[in-house]
A and B are shown apart, each in its own frame.
Chain A
Amino acid sequence: MRLRALLSGRELSIVIALVVVVGVTAAVRPAFLNAQGLHDLFLNASVIALLAIGQALLVITRNIDLSVGSVMGLTAFLSGQLFLADVDTPVVLVVVAGMALGAACGAVNGALVAVAKVPALVVTLGTLYVFRGLDYGWASATGVRQVNADQMAPEFLAFGSGAVLGVPNLTLIALVALLVTGYALHNWRSGRELYAIGSNPEAARLAGIPAGRRVFTAFVVSGALVGLAGVLHAAYFGTINASVGTGRELAVVAAVVVGGVAIFGGSGSVRGAVLGALLLTTITSALPILGVPAFWQRAVDGAALLLAISLDRAVMLRVAARLRRERGLRRA
């Protein structure tokens, strides 16, 4: 009962799936569960979780952002460039700059969606390539093909791989982001309005909710989180080129939908999205151990996305059928 109160049905099934995947993998190779294995797993999951939190904010409002991978690549590359310019750049400044650039990219997407009323799919499919192109353009204009760990500030790398009481810094940051966005979505009027916009845009208009402003803000906040993810990726891996984050949008959208955020908006939680990210990252890490080549990852992400939306649809049809039957009984 207590567990039911804490987690929704979907979240509970993800936790169970997680336990199964981890169990099977650990049975094949126990090292999967040692400190280093878990550490790596959480670090990988933390970056994707940040992206998933941002994406969830948008999907809840019935929007989508396919440009996340490119924005993440751009901000990761920015961190490298900042250190190339001055290896003593304060870490805080790098983080703030990355988030600001991410927010700016989000503002471009958001303005096109909320003000110009272009569907988010088209906007972000376009900016996926525009931002990535800027990334490569920047790389070739400055002649910087790759930034390596020895070119970055040691404190930055230490921050990326560091931990507090055994919990990686990145994971702590992802947790903070989760708590803050989760709190805002649950407790602020503007947070509830994001759900309202996604649940029924027409009703939101009648209720006088400033949908354009809310959606724009969601894009900006989401962009800032993606920017943060890019910087953290740089700090953690220590090697960056212009292709960081390529194709990541699929995994992120899949994580969000697997986590129970309805693709048509209006329901779901950032907690679910983070659990979805954790599950998909775990599967990805488990694949090579279970003897499956890593390049199956895209297929897994795609299949997970299809499975999740099919499941949502099946549940919806069952609920509709039940309502119909109940009405039928009342009528009989």
Chain B
Amino acid sequence: MSPVLQLRDVSKSFQAVRALRGVSLSLHPGEVHALAGENGAGKSTVVRIIGGEHRPDAGELLLDGEPARFSSPRDARQRGVAVIHQEPVQFPDLSVAENVFMGRQPLRRGRRIDRREMHRRAAELFDRLGVPLDPTRPTRGLSIADQQIIEIAKALSADARVIVMDEPTAALSAVEAQRLFRVARGLAGRGAALLFISHRLEEMYQLCDRVTVLRDGALVSTDPMAEVPHDELVRRMVGRSVEQLYPERRADVGEPRLVVEGLTRVGVFRDISFTVRRGEVVGLAGLVGSGRTEVARAVFGVDGRDAGTVSVDGVALPAGDPRAAIDRGVALVPEDRREQGLVLELSIERNASLARLRDVSPGWITRRARERALARRWGERLSLKAGRLTDPAATLSGGNQQKVVLGKWLATEPSVLIVDEPTRGIDIGTKVEVHALLSRLAADGLAVLLISSELPEVLGMADRVLVMHEGRITAELPAADATEESVMRAATGGGA
């Protein structure tokens, strides 16, 4: 059967960053196609090009063998290509059925919206998907899994022939993920072509027919899923042996530095207790939405807490006060670099000094020279590749942006470093540097808490792995016992 959608030698750059270099990919009706690659390999750029958000700089996109050019996501959808995002963008005030049919509502005489027909069709779609959602209820408050189902119903109602699922399971429980797989197989069975992206390789083996591997923006291979063994798939994604990706380290663990006891935020996480010691890297694993990031936020004080204590080197931290946490030696490299780590429009040097404004301002007067010296010092130490330190942080590549964030926090001379998804969206080279840096910092006596969705990263870096599931710590595994299987079992509620 001929492919319904193809990318042929597609390249795409964003300013200095070459996100895709000559990538080719074909999707056939009835197949579930896996797209594999590390963070920053170019997967999301592929998704955005197929979904009509970006146009390729070079190469072409073919629909039914004909060259096509999608002017917008709507254009793509009208031609049968739909994208299901990890966290769907919806109209919270409107009903479920209206979210499905916005702009395409069935009409009665006089161009009047036929609500009954709309609700009937929506119910029918949810029936077909095997998920009983009430079409008349407002969308606000629905779980992410249900919101994804709405997006799939939307795609179905528009007769989508190509459906891209961009890390749809990242925030789903095991049960919800299985439900999604059933839906996905049903769609493929009716002749749709699915492109499936996930961080969890087992899911690919469970669901997909073929797999395409990307690395550093380039195509590595496309093969039937069953013909690529697990280890080989990892090797292709990483492009080097795991030993090269993660530094060899020998933990020299000292006294406890970060002690968290009974930390609770009602409805988010409960009774979280753990310790991170001097010289130790502790991994915090779990699904998106399991509460990992929220724990980090509460420890740091960006969010409040309902119960529990946090102390650093024996000194208790007040709740909900990041300034106090910073002053007592806690640093948090947050998950969302663009919204929480950096002020993109401010210059590199101003970003670098943001967490230590008082130190560059003796006598309450900010000294530009000190600010610049600070930025230069950390820029050199982290081998930052930047034009001028007065350029906005937005002009840097993802990897270099992350270095600015790391520099900003290391400049506060922390004793506890929490890093949340430190290598999301950065190239392999920088990734290796970041891992080496974390390892070195631990060796220098810092206590490091590493949160990551990439299991290999957690397993490769951590001396100890904590696993969260639905707001609780469900397992604590020493490095020797932590495997993908044991961690995933605990993360999906299977018990340690």
- Decide: B73 and A206 in contact? CB cutoff 8 A: yes
A93 within 8 A of B: no
- C-alpha gap A262/B93 in the complex (Å): 10
Please classify how large the interface on chain A is, using the bins under 10, 10 to 19, 20 to 34, 35 or more.
20 to 34
B190 within 8 A of A: no
- Decide: B471 and A331 in contact? CB cutoff 8 A: yes
Instruction: Using CB atoms, name the residue of chain A closest to B115.
Output: A187
- Decide: B113 and A187 in contact? CB cutoff 8 A: yes
- C-alpha gap A206/B140 in the complex (Å): 18
CB < 8 Å: which of A187, A209, A262, A324 contacts B267?
A: A324
Q: Which of B56-105 contact A (CB under 8 A)?
A: 72-75, 77-78, 89-94, 98, 102-103, 105
Q: Which of B243-278 contact A (CB under 8 A)?
A: 266-268, 270
B111 within 8 A of A: yes
Please classify how large the interface on chain B is, using the bins under 10, 10 to 19, 20 to 34, 35 or more.
20 to 34
Kindly list chain B residues whose C-beta atoms are within 8 Å of the C-beta of A196: 91, 94, 98, 102
- Decide: B103 and A199 in contact? CB cutoff 8 A: no
A325 within 8 A of B: yes
- C-alpha gap A203/B472 in the complex (Å): 33
- Decide: B91 and A206 in contact? CB cutoff 8 A: no
Kindly list chain B residues whose C-beta atoms are within 8 Å of the C-beta of A195: 91, 93-94
Known: A196-B94, A207-B103, A331-B470. A202 touches B89 (CB 8 A): yes
Known: A193-B103, A203-B91, A208-B74. A188 touches B270 (CB 8 A): no
Kindly list chain B residues whose C-beta atoms are within 8 Å of the C-beta of A193: 102-103
Kindly list chain A residues whose C-beta atoms are within 8 Å of the C-beta of B470: 331
- Decide: A192 and B94 in contact? CB cutoff 8 A: yes
Kindly list chain A residues whose C-beta atoms are within 8 Å of the C-beta of B471: 328, 331
A327 within 8 A of B: yes
CB B175 to nearest CB in A, in angstroms, measures 12
Known: A206-B73, A207-B103. A200 touches B266 (CB 8 A): no
Known: A208-B74, A324-B267, A331-B270. A187 touches B92 (CB 8 A): no
Most chain B CB inside 10 Å of its own CB: which residue of A188, A192, A206: A206
Give a binary string over A179-218; 1 marks a CB under 8 Å from any B CB, 0 the rest. 0000000111100110110111011101111000000000
A238 within 8 A of B: no
B363 within 8 A of A: no
Q: Which of B87-140 contact A (CB under 8 A)?
A: 89-94, 98, 102-103, 105, 107, 111-113, 140
- C-alpha gap A188/B141 in the complex (Å): 26
A267 within 8 A of B: yes
Instruction: Using CB atoms, name the residue of chain B closest to A208.
Output: B74
Kindly list chain A residues whose C-beta atoms are within 8 Å of the C-beta of B90: 200, 203
Kindly list chain A residues whose C-beta atoms are within 8 Å of the C-beta of B89: 200, 202-203, 206
- Decide: B91 and A327 in contact? CB cutoff 8 A: no
19 A-B pairs with C-beta separation under 8 A: A187-B112, A187-B113, A188-B112, A192-B98, A192-B105, A196-B98, A196-B102, A199-B92, A200-B90, A204-B91, A207-B74, A208-B72, A208-B103, A262-B93, A266-B94, A326-B267, A331-B267, A331-B470, A332-B270
